[in-house]
Amino acid sequence: MTTKFFGEPVRRREDARLIVGQGRYLDDIGPGAYAAAFVRSPYAHARVLDIDVSAAMDVEGLLAIYTYEDLTGPMAEPLPVLIPHPQLTAPRTGYPLVRDVAQHVGEPIVMVVATDRYVAEDAAALIEVSYEELPVVVGVDAAEAAVHTVHDDVPDNIAARHHQETGDVEAALAASAHTLSFTQYFERSASMPMEGKGVHARWDDADSSLRVYSSTQASTSVRAAIAAKLELSLEKVEVIAPDVGGGFGVKIVHPWPEELLVPMAARLLGHEVKWTEDRREHFVSSAHERQQRQEIRVGYDDDGRITALDVLVWHDNGAYTPYGIIVPINTATQLLGPYDIPVYRAVVNSVYTNTVVVTPYRGAGRPQGCFAMERTMDRIAQERGIDRALVRERNLIQPDQFPYDWGLTFQDGRPLVYDSGDYPAMMAKLKTLVDWDGFAERRAAAEARGKLLGIGMAPYVEGTGPGPYEGAHVQVLGSGKVLVSTGLTSQGQGHETVFAQLAAAELGVPLEDVEVTTGDTRRFGYAVGTFASRAAVVSGNAVALAARGVREKALRIAAEVLEADPADLEIDEGLVQVKGTPGASIPLRTVAVLSNPLRYAFDEAARQATQFAGPGDDSKPPVAVGDAPGLEHTDYYSPLRSTFASGAHAVVVEIDPATWEIAIEQYAVVHDCGTIINPMIVEGQVHGGVAQGVGGALYERMAYDRDGQLTNASFMDFLMPYASEVPDVDIDHQSTPSPLNELGIKGAGEAGVIPGSAAIASAIEDAVGRRIAAMPVSPTELYDLVRSDAERVINTSPHDSGAMA
């Protein structure tokens, strides 16, 4: 590979299109489509007694009304449990439309199709559903108490009890010099992409085939699900993810009911049908994440080194478990962070509640794990009177301990083995970046202004790039254009740029000659999807391998023409040339023409390629035995196991003790995702992650009341931060390449969000001198906290302790 483009801050090629409104999002597709609208449960837990559609039948423009009774075959069966697990002992999923009992507000009960969305909404508003209300379970505490149940046949409300351990934790705790135990809470938030979900389906009656556009993170798998549920042969279904306005995890779940129902209706009605999720629907019928209660017991020695760690987590999985126990496993395994912990046990009880399903949202269980671990570190530091940074440093895995095998199993089913990293150097960089040791002066200056300043830090380790595989197809056309396609989808990450950089670097062509297509099953049918910070690692390596295959073929063909050894050839700026022999060259586009000997001449390139115009040897066939026409290659990359990125955040908060407003004065990030393909894109990913981390720490919560009503289901009351609330981010990179893949890369997509709540909680605690045991925290809660009898905290650091301490 040439190093050109690789590692360069190449500008995002997709941005011009997206910024000026030339993006093609789901709702831009099929303006003449019929529109679907849904009647959704207004109750968190209720039996549907009767559905009276009579009043709606008179609405002009109404085309169809579907209830559970109209579903047949596999459509009438429960939605799939996508990722079964032996410890998921009581998996439950809903039906595409509620059969008997609605398990959360927002669950779809009736689908209405009409000439447009207004008419569909009018008709939906006239459908009368009668319900028998059932007792509601909201929150992990109520789920654990199990006074009421979500699913009749799950009496303890426990879907899964995930359990992993590395040794005898009880014995290790008993043998520890010191122990601590405490409980803390983490709230719900959600992915909240700017574009909600959406589905457009078109049935071709003559061809008996279906084309579906979905705002999804997994088009190949949506395709398989639709084919299975609608009993269509796979080749009769195409699924395309168009431009997608953000995913952040919620769109990896599939098939959503609407992804099946809209195609079903398109087929039955013989007409295009579209559904575009509105914001309220997204709040109450997509997915949330993050609520947990964490019960932590830790043993440590005089120096603050952890000798045993025992964690019991009560994890709220909402009403169903379509995505298995990925989030609980991530919490259990990624909680460990960069620390060398000799004996560890994690139990995660994943419980049902009458709320929206919980599935991965950027970070996917890791922010909670980081919160558990880092709050533990702060407590040990406080108990021992040791600087918080020093306690962390004393517990770090050292560079000579890699590969570090935990003896645990990661979410991909493979061993939890850290591949590489340099955590001590990372922490040193962070302390420099935030001037950890010089904080006393800043605190004093703030106090002179009547403000409370606090500092906190939190490192993390993130398993990224899990398998099983991704693939890519690279083709050079006679025009010189290079087509790259991979089945994995894009939601704004910059894949068009990064995959083009990889292909251009491998092939030696100008970047502008490369065109990237993702998430289109017509172009590439085998893929897993975009999640778990895996696109660059898994598809990136596949693109590089496929481009290398093309390069090898190009050199082979060119070698014949140039009468040279392929090993003596190089490709630069789209020209294949003999090294050190100016003039002995052939354009790559000509090689592409020669690779496809034709019989018919329909344009200039084809004229050159007709078998009669070929340069060939009359003693050989135009296409060599074992070879194929065309300058193209398909290849796959399948990682041995996940690769482990790492990072550390430090935050300085300033708190106004007259209003308890919390301002972020500084946000510092040290980030290590191995070899970087495009530093600008990595920094953008970090910025976005930090924004969501700040949102989760200070602003966002899903405010369910005890009846299971989401009381803040709009952007007026669900406080996603604006740009004005997101701090500037100081970033320092570190690069410890992964030994697991040839490019040395690790994932970067989720990293920025992981330590947000942990670091900010630490900083607030440092500023106000009171224990922060739940996140997020708002000014009104902080005011209550400082007036309460909450535990007072003194951080021993190389600076004075908290002003209120």
Partner 1 sequence: MLGGDPHPVKPAPFSYADPVSVEEALDVLAAEGEGAKVLAGGQSLIPLLSMRLAAPATLVDINRIPGLSGITAGPDGVRVGALVRHAELLASAEAAGVQPLLGRATANVAHPAIRNRGTTVGSIAHADPSGEMTAVLALTGGSVTVATPGGREAVGWGEFFLGPLETSVHGPAVVLDAFFPALPARSGTAFAEIARRKGDYAVCGAGVVVTLDADRRVSSARAAYLSVGLVPEVHDLTDAVIGQPVDSADWTAAGELARGLVDPDGDLHASADYRRLLVATLTARTLADAGAEALTRMEAA
* Residues 508-547 within binding reach of partner 1 (CB under 8 A): none
For 352-446, where are the E strands, in sequence order? Answer: 404-409, 415-418
Number of helical (H) and strand (E) elements in the chain, helices listed first: 19, 29
Binding mask 89-118 for partner 1 (x = CB under 8 A): --------------------xx------xx
In whole angstroms, how close is the CB of 110 to partner 1 at the nearest point?
A: 8
Binding mask 45-74 for partner 1 (x = CB under 8 A): ------x-----------------------
Nearer to partner 1 among residue 96 and residue 747 (C-beta): 96
The DSSP symbol for 328 reads: H
Member of 3, 54, 72, 780 binding partner 1 (CB under 8 A): 780
Q: Which helix (H) or strand (E) holds 49?
A: strand 46-52
Member of 209, 432, 712, 796 binding partner 1 (CB under 8 A): 712
CA gap 403, 399 in Å, rounded: 9
* Residues 118-137 within binding reach of partner 1 (CB under 8 A): 118, 121-122, 124-131
**CA dist 760 → 190, 406, 457, 651, 774 (Å):** 19, 28, 8, 6, 11
CA gap 527, 636 in Å, rounded: 10
Nearer to partner 1 among residue 281 and residue 635 (C-beta): 281
Nearer to partner 1 among residue 34 and residue 436 (C-beta): 34
* Listed residue (188, 206, 61, 48) closest to 129, CA to CA: 48
Please tell me whether residue 788 binds partner 1 under the rule CB under 8 A: no
Q: What are the DSSP calls for 569-613, one per residue?
A: EEEETTEEEETT-TT-EEEHHHHHHHTS-BS---SHHHHHHBTTT
Please tell me whether residue 779 binds partner 1 under the rule CB under 8 A: yes
* Residues 725-754 within binding reach of partner 1 (CB under 8 A): 725
Binding segment for partner 1 (CB under 8 A), chosen from 181-189, 436-444, 454-462, 777-785, is 777-785
Residue with tokens 């020695």: 301
In whole angstroms, how close is the CB of 56 to partner 1 at the nearest point?
A: 9
CA gap 334, 758 in Å, rounded: 14
Please tell me whether residue 280 binds partner 1 under the rule CB under 8 A: yes
Nearer to partner 1 among residue 280 and residue 414 (C-beta): 280
* Residues 645-704 within binding reach of partner 1 (CB under 8 A): 658-661, 699, 703
Hey, what are 728's tokens? 């500037």
Binding segment for partner 1 (CB under 8 A), chosen from 203-211, 524-532, 721-729, 797-805, is 721-729
CA gap 428, 405 in Å, rounded: 24
In whole angstroms, how close is the CB of 108 to partner 1 at the nearest point?
A: 10
CA gap 108, 197 in Å, rounded: 14
Count of CB atoms within 10 A of residue 434's CB? 26
Member of 17, 25, 28, 42 binding partner 1 (CB under 8 A): 42
Nearer to partner 1 among residue 168 and residue 717 (C-beta): 717
Contacts of 341 (CB under 8 A, 6+ apart): 166, 306, 308, 309, 395
The amino acid at residue 164 is Q
Binding segment for partner 1 (CB under 8 A), chosen from 39-47, 152-160, 248-256, 745-753, is 39-47
In degrees rounded to 5, what are phi and psi of residue 39? -90, 120
Count of CB atoms within 10 A of residue 775's CB? 24
Helix or strand or coil: residue 726? coil
In whole angstroms, how close is the CB of 36 to partner 1 at the nearest point?
A: 12
Member of 155, 437, 565, 722 binding partner 1 (CB under 8 A): 722
Q: What is the CA radius of gyration of the chain?
A: 28
Binding segment for partner 1 (CB under 8 A), chosen from 286-294, 358-366, 504-512, 713-721, is 713-721
In whole angstroms, how close is the CB of 701 to partner 1 at the nearest point?
A: 9
What does the binding site for partner 1 look like in residue numbers (CB under 8 A)? 37-40, 42, 51, 109-110, 117-118, 121-122, 124-131, 278-281, 658-661, 699, 703, 711-714, 716-717, 719, 721-722, 724-725, 778-780, 783-784
